[in-house]
Structure 1
Amino acid sequence: MNILAISGSARGSSTNTAMLRAVAEIGRPAHDVTVFSGLAALPVFSPDLETAQLPDPVQAFVDMISQNDGLIIASPEYVRSIPGGLKNAIDWLVSRDEIINKPIALMHASHRGDDMLDQLRIVLSTVSARFCQDLFLRFPLMKMPPEDIQHKLHEPANRQTVSRFLTDFAAFSAR
């Protein structure tokens, strides 16, 4: 299965991005997980820019979504809400067909952030008919450097949890 793992953070040393990179490694070879951490490159959404020729970074993002079988999104919360960059990326997809039937699941790299997750669940269930509320994976990784996150997720129990999550997501996506 080809999965696009979208990091909701624009920070270079993002906890969520590091978690998704570890998930991508654990998923091989059964799942090809590509991590997208380029939200900062997307211009601010405007319906005026939704023309036959999308801005290049947006077109590349849309193409990535189209080329993958499913999406996993992992995001921090900012002021108890969805980060602006992630909401902007979703706004670019609202009137497009690529997201409507795309299987989507959530991961989270913190023990907190439930307000943002609730908001994100509402948004994703609005834009995709295949958002899976029941598939959710959370690891308390806040303030850990990327190399420690890598090590933590490769521990046998966590590795097994990630593998089971990916297998469950693949099964959901195949339905």
Structure 2
Amino acid sequence: METIRVLMICGSLRAGSTNEAALRTALAVAPAAVEGTLYTGMGALPHFNPDDDREPLNPAVAELRAAIGAADALLFCTPEYAGALPGSFKNLLDWTIGGGEIYEKPAAWINVASPAAPAGGADAHASLRKVLGYASAEIVEDACARIPVTRPDVGPDGLVHAPELRAGIADALGALADHCRG
């Protein structure tokens, strides 16, 4: 069976983020034919400036674009901040537009917003959908999932251990990989 390479991108820079925990858990529950990589360079990206979107690219931008280009699919997990995408994550997405690596790339997200979140992260994910659509990514609806994860759901190892949450995460990743194979 062909190996599917999935780049996982967390929209949070917060230490102990439930978003990152969900993606780390996706790495842990990935089937043998799925190779996941967690992108960790968001904090090193410069502020987006269209004047700088040319060769030679900032090394952090070149690394991001190369990672996206090498992936078969993208899996995002981002919080909502002030009713939208966090600024640092939007900055990352802005850097993806000019390179074209995201064009027609299968993409999905896991929404881990707490059950107590007023809008359940819906505004951030609507904004993510809009940006990914603008970038012409292929949104894989069957792989987009709302799996509420609270801080107590994350163990000291930074992983989600509740079987039903792990199963939901595995299902989302599996649906993304199946789409790539189909």
TM surpasses 0.5: yes
In proportion to residue count, which structure has more helix?
Answer: 1
- Give, as a single letter, the amino acid of the residue that structure 2 aligns with 1:152: H
**2:163 counterpart of 1:160:** no
Alpha-carbon RMSD across the aligned residues, in angstroms, is: 1.8
**2:8 counterpart of 1:5:** yes
Distance 2:82 2:99 in 1: 28
Distance 2:181 2:134 in 1: 21
Name whichever of 105-114 and 128-137 sits farther off.
Answer: 128-137
**How far off is 1:159 after superposition?**
3.4
Instruction: Give the one of 100, 105, 116 matched to 2:103.
Output: 100
Instruction: Give the one of 127, 130, 138 matched to 1:130.
Output: 138
Instruction: Give the one of 104, 117, 121 matched to 2:125.
Output: 117
Partners of 2:61 and 2:95 within 8 A in 1: yes
Task: Work out the percentage of aligned pairs sharing the same amino acid.
Answer: 31
**How far off is 1:151 after superposition?**
4.2
Distance 2:26 2:181 in 1: 20
Distance 1:15 1:164 in 2: 18
**How far off is 1:91 after superposition?**
0.6
Name the structure 2 match of 1:31.
Answer: 34
Partners of 1:15 and 1:144 within 8 A in 2: no
Structure-to-structure mapping, 1:20-99, within 5 angstroms? 20-99=23-102
Distance 1:158 1:101 in 2: 29
**How far off is 1:43 after superposition?**
0.4
Unaligned runs of 5+ in 1: none
Distance change >3 Å, CA 72–CA 151, structure 1 → 2: closer
Name the structure 2 match of 1:147.
Answer: 155
Partners of 1:9 and 1:17 within 8 A in 2: yes
**How far off is 1:173 after superposition?**
2.1
- Give, as a single letter, the amino acid of the residue that structure 2 aligns with 1:128: S
Partners of 2:103 and 2:136 within 8 A in 1: yes
**How far off is 1:88 after superposition?**
0.5
**How far off is 1:10 after superposition?**
1.1
Normalised to the residue count of structure 1, the TM-score between the two structures is 0.90
Could you report, residue by residue, the CA deviation over 1:136-164 in whole angstroms, capped at 9, with x for unpaired residues? 122221333742662435x2x33333333
SS at match of 1:99: coil
Name the structure 2 match of 1:173.
Answer: 180
**How far off is 1:103 after superposition?**
0.6
